[in-house]
Amino acid sequence: MHPSHRIPALMLLGTGSNVGKSLLVAGLCRLFADRGLKVRPFKPQNMSNNAAATAQGEIGRAQALQARAARIAPDVDMNPVLLKPESDRGSQIILQGRVAGHLSSGDFSRRGDFLPKVLESFERLSDGADLILVEGAGSPAETNLRARDIANLGFARAAGVPAILVGDIDRGGVIASLVGSHAVLDAEDRAMIRGFAINRFRGDVGLFTPALDTITRATGWPSLGVVPWFADAARLPAEDGLDLIRGAPARDGALKIAVPVLPGIANFDDLDPLKLEPGVELVFIGPGTPLPGDAALVILPGSKTTLRDLARLREEGWDIDILAHRRRGGHVLGLCGGYQMLGKTVRDPLGLEGPAGAAPGLGLLDIETELTPDKTVREVAVAHPESGTAGRAYEIHLGVSDGPDRARAPFRVDGRSEGARSADGRVVGTYLHGVLTSDPLRRAWLENLAGKPLAEGEAYEPAVEAALDRLAGHLERHLDIDAILALARSRS
């Protein structure tokens, strides 16, 4: 028997995407870590363009948050398969932290080939752990994908990990989604699920008690609790792009920052620190809506498909809006793929992010970019000489950008210049992600942008820590934690 077979583990499955699995795992990681357990998060397969850099490569940012909740460093074994969508029909494969090719929708049956690597990562992660909390992906009831599944019950059965099924009542139809999942699963898969939980309940929980009995009678699964809506989830990095609509509310006299939302948007949690600033109104602009003329700053965030998103930006007419904003004296910030779009040209001669080709950029920075096969993934120390501030950041990108505006680089990274800036300083581009999490750097930059002192907001990192602590307490009050731990320990 392999040592990992003796490690308690539990998998949280969902009746669908965005039911709150990621935050539930994060909260349970913090809860059990605070009980003195060496807990490790694990997600066999994630599909997201929101990635984090680790010492060994990249993983989904949700797993990085879960590692933080568990008070440990993130590791590529926590998310051995990361699929980064490049179009509606294909994804880049990140296998144990490194690029390992591309997967088209027609090749999705190949995902089963990754199971040995997934189990290898799980075994390594188990070494020295007291508990592993596994997050599923989407829904296990997608029976058309079951044969080669490695993300849900395919993994659970291969690794012998019991599971619970989470339903999101805020969407409506939670009884049908739980009972329906039971109905379409085969007997062996059903047997892996040992209970259910309800997430995001609003109102009097007592009114839902008869429904819990209904679900248990129909499925045989016991209820492990009903988790009320957790408002402080807004203080934690978003799980996926469905949460982007949650900006910072309008405030009188606030500095308005506009963000056009493009299909390939990546690492959008770069913007989360701005949501905690009382002097900032952060607005996300969707298709068919012009950029607001009264914005002080337009941010072009990261992109997994720079050329495709650059074309979409033009289709929406946002290029015209950005150029008009620039003529009015507005500021523009480009992050990673957004930085590349600000230059004169973006070239992808090898077709690394889609069909090979090139396109003119917005021409707001005098740089040119060529995408190259060597991917940069690293954590860095960053300094902002203009404000005399410093912080931590990370890079995840393909390509090299160079040109005259690089001589006015806004940042220093490990002794080298990083990024580019226009001659008047109103257009800035950088490959750095997470740079806005530095409170002194972010506030100095915002006050320079506003031309006046701004009301001081919350310190970002302590706010995230406090939210994780409150989440753990919230789950402890509303879930049967002893039963959950007993299920994890029932693994054999």
Say if residue 259 is in the same domain as residue 343: yes
- Alpha-carbon gap, residue 412 to 410, rounded angstroms: 7
Residue 296 is assigned to a structural domain of this protein:
yes
339 has a pLDDT exceeding 60: yes
Query: For residues 91 and 105, what is the distance between their CA atoms, to the nearest angstrom?
Result: 8
Whether this model's pTM surpasses 0.85: yes
Same domain, 482 and 439: no
Residue 396 · residue 51 · CB < 8 Å? yes
Q: Average pLDDT, stretch 156-185?
A: 97
Position 249 confidence tier, pLDDT thresholds 50, 70, 90: low
Stretch 461-471: mean pLDDT, rounded?
A: 97
- Residues 304 and 352: their CA atoms lie apart, in Å, by 10
Q: Does residue 2 have a pLDDT over 70?
A: no
Whether the predicted pLDDT of 285 surpasses 90:
yes
Whether residues 18 and 167 fall in one domain: yes
- Do 179 and 294 lie in one domain? The reply is no
**Residue 354 shares a structural domain with residue 401:** yes
Provide the pLDDT for residue 234. Answer: 87
pLDDT at 474: 98
162 shares a domain with 285: no
Give residue 244's pLDDT: 56
Three-class HEC string of the chain:
CCHHHHCCEEEEEECCCCCCHHHHHHHHHHHHHHCCCCEEEECCEEECCCEEECCCCEEEHHHHHHHHHCCCCCCHHHCCEEEEEEECCEEEEEECCEEEEEEEHHHHHHHHHHHHHHHHHHHHHHCCCCEEEEECCCCCCCHHHHHHCCCCHHHHHHHCCCEEEEEEHHHCCHHHHHHHHHHHCCHHHHHHEEEEEEEEECCCHHHHHHHHHHHHHHHCCCEEEEEECCHHHHHCCCCCHHHCCCCCCCCCCCEEEEEECCCCEECHHHHHHHHCCCCEEEEEECCCCCCCCCCCEEEECEECCHHHHHHHHHHCCHHHHHHHHHHCCCEEEEECHHHHHCCCEEEECCCCCCCCEEEECCCCCCCEEEEEEEEEEEEEEEEECCCCEEEEEEEEEEEEEECHHHHHCCEEECCEEECEECCCCCEEEECCECHHHCHHHHHHHHHHHHCCCCCCCCCHHHHHHHHHHHHHHHHHHHECHHHHHHHHHCCC
Give every CB contact of residue 346 below 8 A, 6+ residues apart in sequence. 306, 307, 310, 340, 358, 359, 361, 368, 369, 371
Please tell me which residue in 182, 384, 397, 433 is annotated as part of the active site: 433
| CATH number of the domain to which 43 belongs | 3.40.50.300
Pair 452, 475 in one domain? no
Question: Which of these is catalytic: 325, 331, 336, 478?
Answer: 336
**According to the model, what pLDDT value does residue 237 have?**
85
Spatial distance between the Cα atoms of 467 and 472, rounded to a whole number of angstroms = 9
Residue 240 inside a domain? The answer is no
Q: Is residue 236 part of a domain?
A: no
Do the domain assignments include residue 252? Answer: yes
What mean pLDDT is reported for the chain? 93
Residue 225 is assigned to a structural domain of this protein = yes
* CA distances for 492 relative to 10, 13, 94, 483, angstroms: 12, 19, 30, 17
Give the CATH number of the domain where residue 275 resides. Answer: 3.40.50.880
In a domain, 87, yes or no: yes
pLDDT at 3 over 50: no
Same domain, 92 and 171: yes
Asked whether residue 223 falls in the same domain as residue 147, the answer is yes
Confidence of residue 492 (pLDDT cuts 50, 70, 90): low
Residue 385 belongs to domain spanning: 245-457
Kindly state the average pLDDT of the residues 246-261. Answer: 80
Q: In 3D, which of 163, 129, 133, 127 has the Cα closest to residue 26?
A: 133
Please give the backbone phi and psi of residue 486, each rounded to the nearest 5 degrees, phi first.
-65, -40
Q: Is the pLDDT of residue 166 over 90?
A: yes
- On the CB side of 175, how many CA atoms lie within 13 Å of its CA? 11
pLDDT (0 to 100) of residue 471:
98
pLDDT at 341 over 70: yes
Residue 312 domain flag = yes
Q: Catalytic site residue 433?
A: yes
What total number of domains does the chain contain?
2
Residue 201 has pLDDT above 50, yes or no: yes
Q: Tell whether 396 and 448 lie within a shared domain.
A: yes
Q: What is the pLDDT of residues 52-96, one digit of tens each?
A: 999 999 999 999 999 999 999 999 999 999 999 887 778 899 999
Confirm if 41 and 133 have CB atoms less than 8 A apart: yes
- C-alpha distances out from residue 172 to 199, 215, 222, 355, Å: 11, 15, 20, 41
pLDDT score of 133? 99
In a domain, 179, yes or no: yes
Q: What is the pLDDT of residue 110?
A: 66
Q: How far apart are CA 460 and CA 78, in angstroms?
A: 25
Note whether 264 and 399 are same-domain residues.
yes
330 vs 94, 289, 295, 394, CA distance in Å? 38, 19, 7, 27
Q: Are residues 88 and 51 in the same domain?
A: yes
The arithmetic mean of pLDDT across residues 321-349, rounded, is 98
Name the pLDDT band for 240 (thresholds 50, 70, 90): low
406-457 pLDDT, tens digit each: 999 999 998 899 999 999 999 999 999 999 999 999 999 999 999 988 888 8
Torsion of CA 199, 204, 209, 211, to 10 degrees: -60
Q: Which residues contact 458 (CB under 8 A, 6 or more apart)?
A: 276
Q: Is there a catalytic annotation at residue 325?
A: no
Cβ-based neighbours of 57, under 8 Å, separated by 6 or more: 76, 94, 96, 97, 98, 377
